[in-house]
Amino acid sequence: MRAVYYESFADDNSTLRVGELPDPKVGPGQVLIEVRAAGVNPVDWKVLAGGLDPMIDTVFPVVPGWDVAGVVVDRGPDTPEFAPGDEVMAYARKEAISAGTFAQYVAVSAPAVAARPATLDWPQAGGLPLAGLTAKRCLDRTDVHAGDVVLVHGAAGGVGTLAVQLAAARGARVLGTASAASHDAVRALGATPIEYGDGLAERVRDLTPDGVTVVLDLVGGQLPTTTAVLAEGGRHVSIADPTVEGHGGAWVWVRPDGPGLAELAQLADAGRLTVPVQASYPLTEVGAAFDASRGGHTHGKLVIVP
């Protein structure tokens, strides 16, 4: 199969290659997916730099990518949930970093897989799993519900655009930090946009003098602002700053979750969730996609389309 891969860690794209690798084996309880789209996430280039090597074993050559949307072409023994021809999506993280989704094919454990919603095209479905499940887990951990006032740090990013919509779908009032250029997009998703940077806490308090009940930190480094605007008894999480655990918050990591992904698909088909896609790239331009992600100013998702 044709795939992007690397055989050593690097802080840049110098070790990325595009070439032929053996097709994945399909074990019991797995499905083989022909990849139609695979979302790009910051973790992909952080893994390239060895950022998760102390935590997760790496087996070279590494095919990056943990998001996938595609068509089932084969299945292993005892996998009655799916059949060839099914259109599906998954967050395809595995126990070891090796056989990712930036390829023609990927084998994925069936419990991580859900049907593709009819309302999302391939790039949108490919960009949903990791970011959508991350956003959902943040909202679940903080028990966001109707009546909450939720502040989303990084509301224009891949996770942020989905977190805004999910919080609004639960009946919360949502405030979202973003650059001025992204304010219209954030507003269209259901949040009141706020310029980030110096004076952020004061701008939040101007909008909600009693503070916010929930804070989702999706960018890191926001703890001083979070504690300054959080109402008494409020809840907060971060996906980028483990120090929040020492201040009453939770450090959240996404998990493969087929049923959770199915819930997101239902929201999409009900017209309550969409996936903004900024750009799509072929396999030969994965490095360019990583550079765009490293820049930290994407509006929605970046997607690889093999």
Element (H, E) at 231: strand 230-238
Domain ranges of the chain: 2-128+275-304, 131-251
15: nearest Cα among 281, 285, 284, 287: 287
**Structure letter (DSSP) for residue 102:** S
What pLDDT sits at residue 299? Answer: 85
The CA distance from 121 to 192, in Å, is: 27
Element (H, E) at 131: helix 129-141
What pLDDT sits at residue 297? Answer: 80
Class level of CATH domain 131-251: alpha beta
What does the pLDDT profile of the chain (306 residues) look like in tens digits? Answer: 999 999 999 999 999 999 999 999 999 999 999 999 999 999 999 999 999 999 999 999 999 999 999 999 999 999 999 999 999 999 999 999 999 999 999 999 999 999 999 999 999 999 999 999 999 999 999 999 999 999 999 999 999 999 999 999 999 999 999 999 999 999 999 999 999 999 999 999 999 999 999 999 999 999 999 999 999 999 999 999 999 999 999 999 999 999 999 999 999 999 999 999 999 999 999 999 999 999 988 889 999 999
Structural fold of domain 2-128+275-304: Quinone Oxidoreductase; Chain A, domain 1 (3.90.180)
Element (H, E) at 238: strand 230-238
219: nearest Cα among 178, 174, 275, 162: 178
What pLDDT sits at residue 304? Answer: 98
The CA distance from 254 to 162, in Å, is: 14
Residue 120 dihedral angles phi and psi, to the nearest 5°: -105, 130
Most distant pair of Cα atoms in the chain: their distance: 59
The CA distance from 290 to 281, in Å, is: 10
| 3-state SS class at 115 | strand
What pLDDT sits at residue 90? Answer: 98
**Structure letter (DSSP) for residue 103:** B
**What distances in angstroms separate CA 283 from CA 18, 22, 108, 209, 303, one per listed residue?**
7, 17, 20, 48, 10
Q: Which residues contact 98 (CB under 8 A, 6 or more apart)?
A: 58, 59, 60, 61, 62, 63
Q: List the structure tokens of 240.
A: 């980028």
Q: How many residues does the chain have?
A: 306
**What distances in angstroms separate CA 190 from CA 18, 73, 129, 161, 265, one per listed residue?**
40, 38, 21, 9, 19
Q: List the structure tokens of 220.
A: 């890191």
Dihedral through CA 252, CA 254, CA 258, CA 262, nearest 10? 70
